[in-house]
Structure 1
Amino acid sequence: MGESNKKYLSWPVVAMMAFVTVIGFEDIMYNFKNQGMGVITSWIIMMFLYVIPYALMVGQLGSVFNSEGGGLSSWIRGTNGEFLGYFTAWTYWAASIPYVVDSAQSVIVGFGWAFTGSSEFQDKMPNVIFTLLTFIVFIVFIFVQRHLANSMEILSTIGGFAMFGMTVLFVFMSIVGLLRTGGHMATQPMNIHTILPKFDLKYLTTIGLLIYAVNGAELVAPFITQMKKPKTDFPKAMITLAFMTTFLTIFGSFSLGIFFDANHLPNDLKMNGDYYAFQYLGQQYGVGNLFMYIYAWTSVIYMCALLAVLLDAMTRMLISDTGKKYMPAFLRKTNDSGLPVNGYILTCTLSGFIMLLGVFLPEMNDIFNWLLNLNGIISPGVTCWIFYAFMRIRKNTAKYPSEYVFIKNDKLAYSVGLLLLVVTATATLFGIAPQDVATYSGTWWYELIINFVAIIILIGLGTILPLIRKREIEYGIAFDRKQWSIMIATTLIGVVAMVWLGGTDLAARFIYIVAIAIIFPLFMWYIGRKKPQEA
């Protein structure tokens, strides 16, 4: 096919693809729960001081590396070399683990609402069953995506646009309904003071989830190579994305204030708020639960398709994008169908580990909220790479020419990139403090501990894999069967001990976790430092 007959993606299409990826109804709901109507002011501040410059920086990075298809990891590799490119790919993948677990849990919640029409099933479901069902969903979709990968990509696209349509429908119908009922809102009083957030320590801990809600524009970077004029059209798409996100977050939050009293929000709003909202909308228009059921099945289809694509795409991206230099051969091994089987096993193992950390929380709602807030820590942390890459290209613009330039003055542009890097890193650190539970309670301390454990395991493993690859290069294999057996057995013992101690008090959990944090790495280092006998 000649170049003249090639089909290109237009910038409006790329903008819509990015918009579906970046913001959703649940993102608006999560932050409404954290900040109430004050989130409207937060969204305005975020849009002009964060989202717009963030999107335009992504636009310039896409313009500089317009022939690269790897996105963020390609940008870091192009500015800082192979190892940092690998580590960026790893951290991006690690950040996806809590996201896919969250998506799997959302599938369970969505099915519950779709079949029962209420949240009562959650009160009857023990945490262990919820975790087990979530893990079963993982296993099922590992097999599903193998046979229906292309179909799932189509379904996720359709589902994504359907979710976007439901969000716009909710905003539009809520405001129309408000005018029909004479302007009565559940949130009272509704004045300038209501939409001003309280800038305190708790507010700082919620910024990470705001960033989590609006990041992700870099996910469409691989489509740069499919645009006719990528240097100019990709920045256009990013500008459009910023303004669409601004509109929907502000008016979406206002619409929620019509149905929910922001001063007295339900404790389970993050998990069930979107279903409650469509219930209220249906009641307002006299159609009962119709809108809720439509939304529930839309959510189930979208989440199922998204989960299947994510499980496949994130594993393939990690294995293929990091190359042979740093990724162990046993993880790059594929079957006859070209699927990285051991990569899937690693994904399921780490996902299972994350789920196990949360299973000992008091309620199903606590598990959901903790996992969501974990996304609000790890995801903004990964976003820091974007600003770092932007700072690198603006430090040496002669080496990285671009047709589109965000802020002509290099020093000013560098300063803006540094400012956003500092803001994002600060939000990441404050996000580690638990939310949605009583401060300094037993649950608060437990969530704080497992936040650190999850971060250390997910990110730390990325520094260990290159060392394992180094052993493969040196000895031909990383470990012999005896070494593998000892390490696997030790891991299983640790898991069993964690399950056993999960029912004990906080002090016992804390002592166990600290002991494992010290003893486990030392033991693995002792086993791993020896030369494999089978080499």
Structure 2
Amino acid sequence: MSNSTKAKKLSFWTLVLLIFVPTFGFGNITTNAVALGPASIPSWLIVSVLFFFPLSGIIAELASANNDKGGGIYSWIECGLGEKWAYIGTWSYFIANLFYLQMIFVRIPVMTSWAIFGENRFGDTHTVLLSVMAIFLVVILTWAATKGVKNFSRLSDFGGKFTIVATIIFIVFAIIGYFMGTPSATEFSKSTVIPKVNADYLSTFAWLLFSVAGAEVAGTYISDVENPKKNFPKGVIMATLFIAVAYIIGSVAVCLIASPDVLTKAGLKNANYIVYKILAENWGLNGKIAVQIYSIILTITSVAAYIVWVESPIRAMFSEVPKGTFPEFLTRKNEDGTLINALWIQCAIVIVFIIVPILGLHSVESFFVLLANLSSLSLVVPYIILAAAYMAYRLKGNKPPFVMFKSKGSVMFISILVLILGIAGFFGAGFGDIANAENSSAAVKSIIMNYGGPVILILLGLVITLPSKHKTKKN
């Protein structure tokens, strides 16, 4: 019996991949390369050292302290700041997922266009068409999620592995090509590599923080890991190291293949595909066919992954908070444990998110930039709360089984560092649009579009719990 139980446990390296796959994304490399060019390389290093590693250390310690609770952001925040802040942090994480879903549903039509035609047929004037297709996909994939995600989990897992293999192939062939005589498409010099800290860089800085988010996703699996007190914290740190190195080396490879001008012209929506096309052509292959093959597999596996992603954050959100926090309507499950009502409410909210921006945006590229800003600033909120919870937990004299930061001084330094960078990331997202606005009216519009949605939804999270809490107290 013991051997059978042990066989079902997640191994150390399975855990590392479980963290790496949903966290690392090749699109994150090209997104930041579009915005920063070769300056993205040291930027990844800065973010990894000053934010990603400290945050992963915090997660590792809090996970080891709560390994008997099933893990997850809720329990990690609760042990330091109590139930109220644990709820706010978890709800904020859920809100960030809503904005992320908005972004990926808009990306799928572009992805499909590359798969079918070998190019993006959605020009900057097709914002409304892209949004209509995204709304259609929201409804279809939500319906698929209500039927159960188990059927799609294997395909999603394959998609994660495919992304890793495709990224490795890109990096290896880009670097080999350079050493075999293919000249670098980018000039690497002091003036191009050193980041210029201005309003635009502050906006992109939030994207960098968003790109390294994900070490927390394995929290709910901590009880399934072999020797969790030892392997889970070490797995988090190891995955963090791999992700940081992959982003840095991947950025070098992208810059070798495509110049800043080419990346800027491609934009956020196309850069991910353009670089693969150029790489294939550098090796004498048909770039169109190569990018079509890449896009076809990416589209199929991404759709499966997104169906899983539509459902899994909702399951985590409503399973971790205490019973009675939400109205019964939202927490109602079917026989498979799927929260059907919550899924359709989420679907309606995401549709509203997709519709609202197109009323004031005039290009697809500006639409993608706004979605990147919304996703980024929303996700740093739970990390800010998590850092505060960790500092409170450790300063109370608690010592988790796994300790990365031993002294009180190091605990305070690391916590404050993550807090400051998280706050900078929150206000930095969209700051470039505000600073570069033509007039005060345009600046106010940018503030509302970038910060209004997340703030209103976080406050809404507190409001919707009031009836349930009142009912609980009355009983």
Shift of 1:294: 2.6
- Provide the C-alpha distance between the structure 2 equivalents of 1:105 and 1:23, rounded to a whole number of angstroms: 20
Aligned to 1:246: 244
Aligned to 2:315: 316
Bigger relative contact order (CA 8 A; separation at least 6): 2
- Is the 2:77–2:390 Cα contact (8 Å) retained in structure 1? no
Overall identity of the aligned pairs, in %: 24
Aligned to 2:98: 97
- Is the 1:73–1:88 Cα contact (8 Å) retained in structure 2? yes
Residues 460, 448 of structure 1: alpha-carbon distance in 2 compared, 3 angstrom cutoff: same
Shift of 1:425: 1.1
- Provide the C-alpha distance between the structure 2 equivalents of 1:79 and 1:415, rounded to a whole number of angstroms: 17
- Provide the C-alpha distance between the structure 1 equivalents of 2:83 and 2:210, rounded to a whole number of angstroms: 27
What SS class does the counterpart of residue 415 from structure 2 fall into? Answer: helix
- Provide the C-alpha distance between the structure 1 equivalents of 2:243 and 2:126, rounded to a whole number of angstroms: 37
Residues 12-70 of structure 1 deviation map (CA, whole Å, 9 limit, x = unaligned): 21111111121110011111122110111111222222222222221111111112224
Residues 270, 81 of structure 1: alpha-carbon distance in 2 compared, 3 angstrom cutoff: same
Aligned to 1:227: 225
Larger CA deviation: 26-35 vs 448-457: 448-457
- Provide the C-alpha distance between the structure 2 equivalents of 1:220 and 1:426, rounded to a whole number of angstroms: 26
What SS class does the counterpart of residue 191 from structure 2 fall into? Answer: coil
Residues 138, 184 of structure 1: alpha-carbon distance in 2 compared, 3 angstrom cutoff: same
Q: What is the root-mean-square deviation of aligned Cα atoms in Å?
A: 2.3
- Provide the C-alpha distance between the structure 1 equivalents of 2:249 and 2:450, rounded to a whole number of angstroms: 33
- Provide the C-alpha distance between the structure 2 equivalents of 1:142 and 1:201, rounded to a whole number of angstroms: 37
1:297-308 alignment runs, 5 A limit: 297-308=296-307
What SS class does the counterpart of residue 323 from structure 2 fall into? Answer: helix
- Is the 1:370–1:447 Cα contact (8 Å) retained in structure 2? no
- Is the 1:11–1:227 Cα contact (8 Å) retained in structure 2? yes
Aligned to 2:12: 11
AA at the equivalent of 1:331: L
1:425 and 2:417 correspond: no
What SS class does the counterpart of residue 184 from structure 1 fall into? Answer: coil
| Rg larger in structure | 1
- Provide the C-alpha distance between the structure 2 equivalents of 1:200 and 1:115, rounded to a whole number of angstroms: 39
- Provide the C-alpha distance between the structure 2 equivalents of 1:124 and 1:421, rounded to a whole number of angstroms: 37
- Provide the C-alpha distance between the structure 2 equivalents of 1:4 and 1:331, rounded to a whole number of angstroms: 37
Shift of 1:284: 0.8
Residues 330-389 of structure 1 deviation map (CA, whole Å, 9 limit, x = unaligned): 212334654323212220121112112211210222212211221121112222122122
- Is the 2:118–2:292 Cα contact (8 Å) retained in structure 1? yes
- Is the 1:29–1:269 Cα contact (8 Å) retained in structure 2? no
AA at the equivalent of 1:460: L
Aligned to 1:139: 139
- Provide the C-alpha distance between the structure 2 equivalents of 1:291 and 1:386, rounded to a whole number of angstroms: 43
AA at the equivalent of 1:140: I
AA at the equivalent of 2:270: N
What SS class does the counterpart of residue 122 from structure 1 fall into? Answer: coil
- Is the 1:75–1:389 Cα contact (8 Å) retained in structure 2? yes
What SS class does the counterpart of residue 128 from structure 1 fall into? Answer: helix
Residues 129-171 of structure 1 deviation map (CA, whole Å, 9 limit, x = unaligned): 2112111111111221233511211111110111111111111
What SS class does the counterpart of residue 67 from structure 1 fall into? Answer: helix
Aligned to 1:258: 256
Aligned to 1:488: none
Shift of 1:471: 4.9
Shift of 1:438: 5.4
- Is the 2:142–2:344 Cα contact (8 Å) retained in structure 1? no
Q: Any unmatched runs of 5+ in structure 2?
A: none
What SS class does the counterpart of residue 402 from structure 1 fall into? Answer: coil
1:409 to 384, 392, 407: 407
Aligned to 2:455: 456
- Is the 1:28–1:252 Cα contact (8 Å) retained in structure 2? yes
What SS class does the counterpart of residue 199 from structure 1 fall into? Answer: coil
- Provide the C-alpha distance between the structure 2 equivalents of 1:335 and 1:9, rounded to a whole number of angstroms: 28
Residues 384, 302 of structure 1: alpha-carbon distance in 2 compared, 3 angstrom cutoff: farther
Shift of 1:445: 5.1
What's the TM-score, normalizing by structure 1?
A: 0.83
- Provide the C-alpha distance between the structure 1 equivalents of 2:139 and 2:269, rounded to a whole number of angstroms: 23
Q: Any unmatched runs of 5+ in structure 1?
A: 477-535
- Provide the C-alpha distance between the structure 2 equivalents of 1:174 and 1:377, rounded to a whole number of angstroms: 33
Aligned to 2:52: 51
AA at the equivalent of 1:281: L
Residues 68, 473 of structure 1: alpha-carbon distance in 2 compared, 3 angstrom cutoff: closer
Aligned to 1:117: 118
Shift of 1:456: 2.5
Residues 123, 173 of structure 1: alpha-carbon distance in 2 compared, 3 angstrom cutoff: same
- Is the 1:282–1:290 Cα contact (8 Å) retained in structure 2? no
